[in-house]
Structure 1
Amino acid sequence: MHSRSSHSSAIDRIEETAIAAILGLMTLITFANVVARYVFNANILWALEMTVFLFAWLALLGACYAVKKGAHLGVDAIIDILPPAPRRVLALMSITVCIAFAFLLLKGAWDYWANFANLPQTEGRWFPLGFQDKFRPQAWYEVNDIPMPDFLRWIEPLMNDGDSYEKLPRFIPYAILPFTMALLLFRFVMAGVAIWQGKIDRIVASHEVEDEIAEVQAQRGEG
């Protein structure tokens, strides 16, 4: 049990560090661009696009982590007045909807990203019925402004028939879509298992705003 707890804590630290690093990098790039504009009358052309991608990564990773921690805000006024058995039934119904929704998001994310990575999309409108037999590889698509880093040149023979990329290929920043949707699905499945086992009775358990208000009231001596 101790080993499992330590493993979970290590994963938590990795996720938290990644989220903090992305936020810090966004801040650094934005600050550098402001200095370049107002001090040197210049501009970092790729700064805006990079911060947009980083913000998307931050939001998607943060959403998955919040599911894991039960940190999404929600309304549970009705749940709180129900006895344990109906509360568990509603929780199972809710998690079923969340799992189905996350599965659809994963399919859509894969289908959007796949051709950019020279991979087939799935067949079927709602449920994957297989993969495309024929498709147009689109790994040659590039982003608008972010230059291609030299340390990634090794992917050119693999993804672009040996042709050089001038800008970063789109499949790299877009890869966050299927990755985080798969992670989100996994998080919801784990939450569903916890509800089935009786460890939790709801998906949303965060009351951060209420806790902060109570803390402020306590500091002011209010009841």
Structure 2
Amino acid sequence: MHTRHSLTDRIEENLIAALLGLMTVVTFANVVARYLFNSNILWALEVTVYMFGWLVLLGASYAVKKRAHLGVDAILNMVSAPVRRVMALFSVACCLIFSLLLLKGAWDYWSVFAELPPTTGRWFPTGFEWDARGQGWYEVQDIPMIAPLKFLEELLNYGESYEKIPKAIPYLVLPVSMLLLVFRFLQVAVGIWQGRVDRLVASHEVEDELHTVRAQQGEHD
């Protein structure tokens, strides 16, 4: 169990780090091109925006997994353990409902770009709208099509070639990240129900930093 968790941690952390690193490299390259060569990488800004979106959306679910979101637990610390458990279950239930709504909205927005049916129903899915018109021909604004993605022309664009990459590619993060968010909240809910944790978030970054500083000062004294 520990090995599996470590492996998933490394995958998520490396992906987030790679996105952050690529954002830095692309932005730096564009600055160099502009100020040293009086040129411009046309697709650099759009790539950076999409990578930032991936970074934030994937990072949100990872922070839930690590219980790293900031939260106010002053009231939780004042009540008894049974009351704290009930409050925590109520909080995670609200988060689950909200994340499920986000998942439905994310799927409905992305699916038409991927030539897949969006769901029916205003709030929660009641089925699939199979007659919905696909929008797989929609392209991004600046990012050019690359050879490894050419197979998507048959799947999404009726064999017609893409000049830019289809929107289905960068927008894929929407349903994926929301599905991860639902899964992470479910994990927290199970942990609270089983008594392994007693709250939804447990981030005390300032306290931890102060404790570290005090410990360092104590070593020097």
Q: 1:52: which partner in 2? A: 49
Q: Which amino acid aligns with 2:36?
A: V
Q: 2:149 matched to 1:131?
A: no
Structure 1 residues 13 and 115, CA, compared in 2 at 3 Å: closer, same or farther?
same
Separation (CA, whole Å) in 2 of partners of 1:165 and 1:209: 49
Task: Give runs of aligned pairs for residues 1-223 of structure 1, distance below 5 A.
Answer: 4-220=1-217
Q: CA deviation at 1:151?
A: 1.6
Q: Which amino acid aligns with 1:159?
A: L
Q: Which amino acid aligns with 1:114?
A: S
Separation (CA, whole Å) in 2 of partners of 1:10 and 1:72: 22
Separation (CA, whole Å) in 1 of partners of 2:162 and 2:179: 29
Q: Which amino acid aligns with 2:64?
A: V
Separation (CA, whole Å) in 2 of partners of 1:158 and 1:211: 51
Residue segments in structure 1 that go unaligned for 5+ positions in a row = none
Q: CA deviation at 1:137?
A: 1.1
Q: CA deviation at 1:53?
A: 0.3
Q: CA deviation at 1:219?
A: 4.0
Q: Which amino acid aligns with 1:189?
A: L
Separation (CA, whole Å) in 2 of partners of 1:207 and 1:67: 14
Identity fraction in percent: 62
- Per-residue deviation, residues 101-129 of structure 1 (Å, max 9, x unmatched): 01000000001111011011100001101
Q: CA deviation at 1:149?
A: 0.7
Q: Tell me the SS of whatever aligns to 1:19.
A: helix
Q: Which amino acid aligns with 2:144?
A: P
- Per-residue deviation, residues 50-100 of structure 1 (Å, max 9, x unmatched): 000000000011100000010001110110111100000000000100000
Separation (CA, whole Å) in 2 of partners of 1:167 and 1:207: 44
Residue segments in structure 2 that go unaligned for 5+ positions in a row = none
4+ runs of 1 displaced by more than 6 Å?
Answer: none
Separation (CA, whole Å) in 1 of partners of 2:157 and 2:104: 25
Separation (CA, whole Å) in 2 of partners of 1:55 and 1:94: 28
Q: CA deviation at 1:217?
A: 4.3
